[in-house]
Amino acid sequence: MNWNTLAGVGLDLVLGDPRWLPHPVRGIGWLIARQDKLYPRTRPAGVLLWLVTVGVTAGVVLLTPLLAIYWIYSFVAIRDLDRHAMAVIAALPDLPVARERLSWIVGRDTANLDERDIVRATVETVAENLSDGIVAPLFYLALGGPVAMAAYKAANTLDSMVGYRDDRYRDLGWFSARADDWANWIPARLTAALVWIICLLPGYGLARSIRVTLRDGASQPSPNAGYPEAAVAGALGVQLGGLNYYRGVASHKAHLGDAESPLSFPRLRVLLYGVAALATAGACLR
């Protein structure tokens, strides 16, 4: 049993990420932003950006082994994922408040979303972050300890900040986007499998979740995001995907799942905490 892992995840469940507490992901973001101003918009510069950011982050964690519990606590996001999603749902049917709260946790434009699309966006971000915010960090923790976990979070933060296809980041962010795809290939599919296990509980559709994952998981532009989203859609019997806007540009994603049931947010929370419990147990046994 790895007690550091258990303590770190336990702290996340109790505290979340209070704004007054220094958070390493904000430090990673600061490091990326400083480099962004220095480098030319080229692919070689993008590789250098990735190497420096991941190397510095991993090096800081490597040199501070006594802070292992703090690093683990900081690099998982169970409580805050739940908290932010609940805040959006709790604001409904007040659309302006719900849209504002949703904008804190998604990259899509939220200003004109109706209630149905707000709920869909909330479910999609919870489903995707089951992998990015919970399973993947714990997967890399199990493989290589807090250093590997930190390297993953640095790579994931790079993708969220520079992994775009617009004129500014098409070349500089190319390597960061590809590296994040590689890093998440196994965790995304592992997340879907963990969702299937939770579907053994009454009220969830195990066979449907497996069927939808295998049918729709590869249908999204991302090679990874579709798998946890499809697994969740199948587990709940809802349909995800469709038309979104990013910085005013339309993006139509294939549908995931079939609209068989109304969304039950409490059932989504069971999936969230169930997957987190299984991933934590796996990381503790390393």
What digits encode the pLDDT tens for the residues 166-197?
888 999 999 999 999 999 999 999 999 999 99
Q: Of how many residues is the chain composed? A: 286
| Alpha-helical runs (H) found in 217-264 | 226-236
Q: Mind listing the pLDDT tens digit for each residue in 223-237? A: 999 999 999 999 999
Copy the structure tokens of residue 187: 């965790």
pLDDT confidence of residue 1: 66
Write out the residue range of the structural domain in which residue 163 sits.
Answer: 3-284
**Per-residue pLDDT band at 263 (split at 50, 70, 90):** confident
The burial class, CB within 10 Å (0-12 / 13-18 / 19+), for 212 is buried
**Per-residue pLDDT band at 270 (split at 50, 70, 90):** very high
Q: Mind listing the pLDDT tens digit for each residue in 82-91? A: 999 999 999 9
Copy the structure tokens of residue 154: 């640095």
Give the mean model confidence (pLDDT) for residues 263-281: 94
| Alpha-helical runs (H) found in the chain | 3-15, 24-36, 43-62, 68-75, 78-91, 95-103, 115-129, 136-162, 174-198, 206-216, 226-236, 265-284
The answer on pLDDT for 257 being more than 80 is yes
pLDDT confidence of residue 166: 81
pLDDT confidence of residue 86: 95
Q: How many domains does the chain have?
A: 1
